[in-house]
Chain A
Amino acid sequence: MNPEDLKYTPEHEWLRIEGDAAVIGITDYAQEQLGDIVYVGLPAVGDTIDPGASIGELESTKSVSDLFAPVPGVVVERNESLEQNPEVVNSDPYGEGWLIKVTLSDPNAVDALLDGAAYRALISE
């Protein structure tokens, strides 16, 4: 279910590493757990993000969840289409439902992330 070419976090986020940048989203497992997503709050372009800090939120019909910064970096792009169509995070979490793109301030931070197999093992526990 989860693509092998991505990196993952125990908070059910994924990262696609593109050179010194990373595209960040939430996993299929996460969107399934949340249910219908009705609002996505994202950090602003230019914001510096620090690992572990809450940088946004995903609100579903039943609850709200924090979006945690998975790596240190600076936000360079955000998926503006989610303002009008937050449900895309449910329907295409690894594609059109991406959340933000950041430049990595510490490329080595990526090494601490989970690979596809490790994430799969985590969610099947």
Chain B
Amino acid sequence: MANADDDAQGGAAGTHQSPSPLHQRHLDLGAKLASFGGWIMPLEYAGGGVLKEHAAVRGRVGVFDVSHLGKVTVRGPGTAAYLNTCLSNDLDRIGPGRAQYTLCVDDASGGAVDDLIAYLRSPDEVFLIPNAANTTEVCRRLTSAAPDGIDVLDEHHDHAVLAVQGPSGDELLRAVGLPTGHDYMSFVQAEHAGAPVTVCRTGYTGERGYELVTPSAAATSLWDALMTAGSDFGVLACGLGARDTLRTEMGYPLHGQDISMEISPVEARLVWAVGWSKDSFWGKEVLTAQRTAKAGPLLRGLVASGRGIARPGMSVGLPGSRASVGHVTSGTFSPTRRQGIALALLDRSVHDGDEVSVGMRGRHEAFVVTKPPFVQTGVRT
């Protein structure tokens, strides 16, 4: 028996790896650790495992440490207006206290430097959560374009981020004295044990839930409170392995796999996160041309007809043909459906409902092109 492929989520090997503020808690819980974007993070926990942790989030509640995510404050007069000329989505669509999924696009190529969440605190202050591995590059681009008076502050190590996800998440937050019930993609400022906590109705699992941003020094006390109170709700500490199966069931793209410098937001079908009517934003020209040309490949979902589990990089073809019509960008076993699910970048000739064939390890497995999400959840309710 030997591993045929490595962990998909590689970090920068050989460079310094940052521990999370909750590193000791992960060790205490017997976590299997892995490198994510330069951070040492829990993949899964002893006594848990991807399937149990996944089920906890779908059925009860799970708590994730996602402190590897970037945290960037952009501050100064006209910050929101400035960011609106850079990032793809339109901050004018939301008001203060609201968050928005957006993209940092490379102006020349239309490739995605990163996808991120922008939290509009005020017209003069926006908090960004980019992906761990892309934070430095996003900060570099935003800093170099910023007018005088607007500061881009990389606060990557200053804050911890805990995600409380699942149908019992509201009860768990109330049990530790945090506010709940605000709208999807909105956030409120609160306190726990004397430390500030931003409670955001956001997440990457498809379940109703919250992401909590708190100073790194306060992370352990918040984690302990959640885990202690959570025992009444069947809480499990959940690792990034379950986070990946959960997000794949929703068809949420992962930067570096489903969206990247090579896979544009148009190809990844993220046109809803682009403010097309804005005068300008990075990549507007290239993305508009792609959108008009309707020629490039598109990201679509796949569901296995049999027992096959597609993995990133596998070639997709049509039944009975050797010609490739694309490749798998994310693929895993869906714990909820108990079958293989995947995202794949496919030629425009392929449509939802078509049968395709994924080449894996010397054989071909049938999949049906299926529009995500692959499971129905209550993320917005």
Chain A interface (Cβ < 8 Å from any Cβ of B): 11-13, 26, 30, 33, 35-36, 38-39, 41, 57-68, 87, 90
Contact = CB atoms under 8 A, between A and B. Distances in A.
A61 B4 contact: no
A36 B241 CA distance: 10
Contacts of A59: 309, 333
Contacts of B241: 35, 61-62
Q: Which of B3, B5, B245 has the most CB of A within 10 A?
A: B3
B244 to A, nearest CB: 8
Contacts, number: 66
B215 interface: no
Which 7 pairs across A and B sit closest by C-beta, in order of nearness? A61-B50, A38-B333, A36-B51, A36-B49, A11-B1, A12-B1, A36-B50
Say what secondary structure dominates the interface of chain B.
loop
A2 to B, nearest CB: 14
B232 interface: no
Contacts of A63: 3-7, 311
Nearest to B333: A38
B332 interface: yes
B333 A33 contact: no
A30 B1 CA distance: 8
A66 B360 CA distance: 12
Contacts of B32: 35
A63 to B, nearest CB: 5
Interface of B: 1-8, 32, 43-44, 49-51, 241, 245, 307, 309, 311, 332-333, 335, 338, 361
Given A38-B309, A63-B5, A64-B4, 9 more contacts: A38-B335, A39-B333, A57-B361, A61-B50, A61-B51, A62-B8, A63-B3, A65-B3, A66-B4
B1 A87 contact: no
A39 B307 contact: yes
B50 A66 contact: no
Contacts of A66: 1-2, 4
B65 to A, nearest CB: 18
A33 B44 CA distance: 11
Q: Counting chain A CB atoms within 10 Å of each CB, which of B32, B245, B332 scores highest?
A: B332
Contacts of B309: 38-39, 59, 64
Contacts of A58: 1
A75 B332 CA distance: 30
Contacts of B50: 35-36, 60-62
A13 B1 CA distance: 7
B10 to A, nearest CB: 13
B361 A64 contact: yes
A39 B339 CA distance: 10
B226 to A, nearest CB: 24
Contact of B2 (A36, A39, A65): A65
Contact of A61 (B3, B5, B332): B332
Contacts of B335: 38, 61
Contacts of B332: 61-62
Contact of A68 (B2, B5, B311, B361): B2
